[in-house]
Amino acid sequence: MGEHYDYDLFTIGLGSGGTRASRVAAAHGARVAAAEEYRVGGTCVIRGCVPKKMLVYGAQFAEDLEDATHFGWTVEGKSFDWVKLRDHVMRDVGRIEGIYTETLEKHDVTLFHERAEITGDHQITLASGKVVTAKYILLATGARPHVPDFKGHEHVITSNEAFHLDKVPECILILGGGYIANEFAGIFNEFGAQVVIAQRSDTILRHYDFAMRDRLMQLSLSKGIEFLFNTQIEEVVKQEDGMFEVRFKDKEPRHFDCVMAATGRVPNIEGLGLDTVGVKTGERGQIKVDEFSKTNVDYIYAVGDVTDRVQLTPVAIREGQAFADSVFGDKEPYAVDHTCIPSAVFSHPPIAAVGLNEREAKDKYGQVAVYTSDFRPMKNVVADRNERSLIKMICDGASGKILGIAMIGPDAPEIMQAAAVAVKAGMNKADFDATTAIHPTVAEELVLLR
């Protein structure tokens, strides 16, 4: 292919997008090399979705063990060992990292475990000083947590460090009201921490349907999570006893043994040599790409969080796959469809959604029909857990086409993955109505909405 280059493709960053692209390009016959300065697997595998979900499972036992007594079980001497869970999680992360590495090696992808920088046209220089050339370069360096710039911000941890704590904090302040804030609030709360969320605006999870947000807030409050809205931090001061005094604008100071920022993520573009070859970036620091993930430089592409299109692992994987198929495969080039992407927040309980929320649907379609089911799942009834689930289906008032579905409750992400197929396929509520329920399940509510 690019015989006068050392490689056909050089990938920088081996997270979900970079790994998929490298493996698929190699399977298409390309000579591929890739550099990763940290651990193969990137945010999702090493310090994101995967270990987080394991902690969510661990946290859920707090409620399940409590509920078990209502189902006749006696659970004596229950206790929780954070270090044991943390170490089990990290061991599994290492196992998955090994699988990722093995897959790349099996496809003859040459791996460089070091930093790489573009230092000229088609040229990459590795931290060791080795210089290689490639016909195509793929930038898949992901994003990192953003920490607001207040005094004492160096005392603040992010989700990167949360997985490695020596103990569960006794009282933790979490900044932000998005995915990570609500997921870790649930995790730490179930493990017995006193959790306070401080959000700069007046709402959490602003892109989700307001009814789901309200329900999560209400349930989180009932579980003891505290919310401070319209709150900004001025300073974090470390005390002699190791605690942190957090000074707010317009609020009395409070003390915590841990402060965590979950205030968005910024693309990793520093030290990549973008200026050397003139790769353009946007105002959020993201690498600008077209629908085929191509930058303004003809042979340089970018996928995943570094492009800040949709910061979700499955999206990065699709972008990596499409890039590799389009550039190295024998199919016509194709673009990833970024519409109707299902998503979930693994809070306690989780939220999941696909398509438009009610507000977006009204703005776009005017007349919409909204069907809601607000119910207490059978398991919660027996457990005497006063926790109601909520399902909402939003349809085009004229055609009945489903524009969006949102849900909060146990297993919402599992249920939504299946429902998303129908929404993506453009089905109508009548198609759901024509489907027989599986009884008794939570998911049957979807086909019984009136």
Tell me the three-class secondary structure of 81-115, residue by residue: CHHHHHHHHHHHHHHHHHHHHHHHHHCCCEEECCC
**Can you tell me the distance from the alpha carbon of 323 to that of 308, in angstroms, rounded to the nearest whole number?**
16
Instruction: Give me 380's structure tokens.
Output: 């919660």
| 176 touching ligand NDP, by CB under 6 A | yes
Which of the stretches 84-92, 102-110, 316-324, 337-345 binds ligand NDP when contact is defined by CB under 6 A? 337-345
| 406 touching ligand NDP, by CB under 6 A | no
Nearer to ligand NDP, 153 or 424 (CB): 153
Cβ proximity of 321 and 20 under 8 Å: yes
Nearer to ligand NDP, 344 or 407 (CB): 344
| Short-list 242, 246, 260, CA closest to 156 | 260
Query: Between residue 188 and residue 217, which ones bind ligand NDP under the rule CB under 6 A?
Result: 199-201, 206
Cβ proximity of 309 and 315 under 8 Å: yes
Which of the stretches 131-139, 173-181, 251-259, 286-294 binds ligand NDP when contact is defined by CB under 6 A? 173-181
Strands 402-408 and 351-355: antiparallel
**Can you tell me the distance from the alpha carbon of 94 to that of 373, in angstroms, rounded to the nearest whole number?**
42
Which of the stretches 60-68, 112-120, 125-133, 176-184 binds ligand NDP when contact is defined by CB under 6 A? 176-184
Nearer to ligand NDP, 221 or 434 (CB): 221
Q: Which of 28, 122, 348, 439 is labelled catalytic? A: 439
Q: What are phi and psi of 295, to 5 degrees?
A: -80, -175
Binding ligand NDP (rule: CB under 6 A), the pick from 62, 225, 344, 419 is 344
Nearer to ligand NDP, 184 or 301 (CB): 184
| 180 touching ligand NDP, by CB under 6 A | yes
> Which residues lie below 8 Å from residue 50, measured CB to CB, with a gap of 6+?
41, 44, 92, 93, 96
| 262 touching ligand NDP, by CB under 6 A | yes
Which of the stretches 65-73, 130-138, 291-299, 339-347 binds ligand NDP when contact is defined by CB under 6 A? 339-347
Query: Between residue 293 and residue 332, which ones bind ligand NDP under the rule CB under 6 A?
Result: 311-312
Cα–Cα distances in angstroms (integers) from residue 181 to residues 107, 175, 225, in the given order: 38, 7, 11
Binding ligand NDP (rule: CB under 6 A), the pick from 10, 179, 208, 244 is 179
| Short-list 168, 217, 225, CA closest to 351 | 217
| 181 touching ligand NDP, by CB under 6 A | yes
Is 113 an active-site residue?
no
Instruction: Give me 25's structure tokens.
Output: 């390009």
Binding ligand NDP (rule: CB under 6 A), the pick from 16, 220, 343, 373 is 343
Cα–Cα distances in angstroms (integers) from residue 421 to residues 289, 370, 416, 434, in the given order: 27, 19, 9, 16
CB of 183 to ligand NDP, least distance (A): 6
**Can you tell me the distance from the alpha carbon of 316 to that of 323, in angstroms, rounded to the nearest whole number?**
10
Nearer to ligand NDP, 35 or 262 (CB): 262
Query: Between residue 352 and residue 391, which ones bind ligand NDP under the rule CB under 6 A?
Result: none
CB of 204 to ligand NDP, least distance (A): 7
CB of 331 to ligand NDP, least distance (A): 29
Q: Is 219 left (phi over 0), alpha (psi -120 to 50) or beta?
A: alpha
| 186 touching ligand NDP, by CB under 6 A | no
The strand pairing partners of 33, in sequence order, are 10, 110
CB of 422 to ligand NDP, least distance (A): 21
| 349 touching ligand NDP, by CB under 6 A | no
| 148 touching ligand NDP, by CB under 6 A | yes
Binding site for ligand NDP (CB under 6 A): 148, 175-181, 183, 199-201, 206, 262-265, 311-312, 343-346
Instruction: List active site positions.
Output: 439
